[in-house]
Structure 1
Amino acid sequence: MKLRKASALAATVLALSLTATACGSSDDDNGGSGSGSGGGGGDKITVGIKYDQPGLGLKTPDGSYAGLDVDVATYIAGELGYEPGDINFVESPSAERENLLKRGDVDFIVATYSITDTRKEQVDFAGPYFVAHQDLLIRVDDEVNSVDEINDLTLCSVAGSTPAQNIKDNVAPDAQLLELATYSECLGGLENGTVDALTTDDVILAGYAAQDQYQGKFKLAGLDMTDEFYGVGVQKDSELREQINTAIQKMIDEGKWDEAIEKNVGPSGYVSEGAPEITETN
């Protein structure tokens, strides 16, 4: 195996702080606070998404938004009575999603938001609308053949994310784990060798590997460490959950879900398992 464990995590942090540039997002990208209204009753609806996940939730250079989560959110908003132009998309970093919902800054969140019992103590979920699996993104000439090998690596993930917590608690407690604000910031470290792997869900990693500037540089390890069920986050006891579940099921039944998968995820070569059964009903 060609990987090596970094000797000093502090040096890694410094190196990444110097190399993480325009691909990361900033507070200036947020586009203002949300309405917290929901239900189709107002002029606008505010939806939380990721800004830096190709194929899922991406703010493009021209200021528009693209990806599976964006298309799912737009379809749901349409079923709630909002036109695409009525949607205010707000960046929702992993560590801030619960806070955004509890404060009412957003009406709902579609941001690769894994449904977990811990999160359900603070917010409710509709869905799920997608199933992914935690994996590693590594440099194309490297190999990681087993979960046991991860303990010898320096990994990068996002603070507040399920994959970061899973690495620490279950998969590789001896690995060095650098937690940054966005996955885009981790990519610089993977490219220049200051970290050995980026860990998150396979569909997210596939989107990064398929970007023009990274093609031929990275690959997925293929470990499939967990099942991650992506849900739509809403406030506790929100009436939106039932409406959103109805919208998701309609999107699936009409074939619009399959179209969104092919459009956004298909180009990366990622193969979806199909739409999951909706379970978050109470």
Structure 2
Amino acid sequence: MWSGILPAVTTKFKEDDSLDHAEMERCFGLQIDAGVDGLIVAGSLGEGPMLTQEERIDVYRTAKAAAGKRPVLVTVAEASTTAACAMAKKAAQAGADGLMVVPSPIYHTDARETEANLRAIAAAGDLPVMIYSNRVAYRVDVTPQLMADLADDARFVAIKESSDDIRRTTEIINHLGDRYAVLTGVDNLAFEALSVGATGWVAGLVVAFPKETVAIWQLMQAGRRDEALAIYRWFRPLLDLDVSTYLVQNIKLAEALAIKSTERVRGPRLPLAGERRAEVERVIRAAIETRPSLPTLEIAA
């Protein structure tokens, strides 16, 4: 159902910490103009856990207005199943095209609990679901066997594979064939995942460098692997910024430098400072200075 480049977009704030819908509209528009295949709001990069459920729906509405016919997914990442089901219902009522669901990020569920949690959320929202499997950040591993156990519910349509083990993409495909769309969720494993059969990329640095991200995907689809790899090699130092405790601050700084956006974050986060900021800024500026020329590619409307 979902494939290609789906940015996990950032949430923009004004100086008073309220939502900056005008800036989000501008930034989301840059993604759509570059040819992305959909948007995902209120994820980890979107500071979803720092937003109220009502704010998440407001961000969704702004994204949907920018996305037009392209799908917009709302992230569900709640400590309790009750709260997650409530969020899923609100997203459905607002017209969301689907959900990206994180198993409980606070209590580290076992396989039985994870299955029950995911089934309850899917039933509550009654929308297509992308399961976010990220054992590194959330300590809950949605294994290929668990995916097989959930396969009888047609609402589960896709996996955001973020185990940080490139072998997992092949394991899912070997175990389940094409039952699920498998999208990589680790920026600095994207080329590798696409090379072994991933059908898309839930991307982070795309929010600052949309054209380069889309170019890698489209070149891979066209069989122009060497051209895609050349861009990816240039991109790698930037993509490493996504695999960090400070990914939100890192990527918002990239947006500030590359697309002239803001880097405001919601507390307890603070913008980068000191030596850490200097190093991240060095990486971003070096990439901007050596930005590659992109081949001519058709971008689907």
Same fold (TM > 0.5)? no
TM-score in terms of structure 1 length: 0.28
TM-score in terms of structure 2 length: 0.27
Query: Is the strand fraction higher in 1 or 2?
Result: 1
Which structure exhibits the higher relative contact order, with contacts defined as CA atoms closer than 8 Å and separated by 6 or more residues? 1
Query: Is the helix fraction higher in 1 or 2?
Result: 2
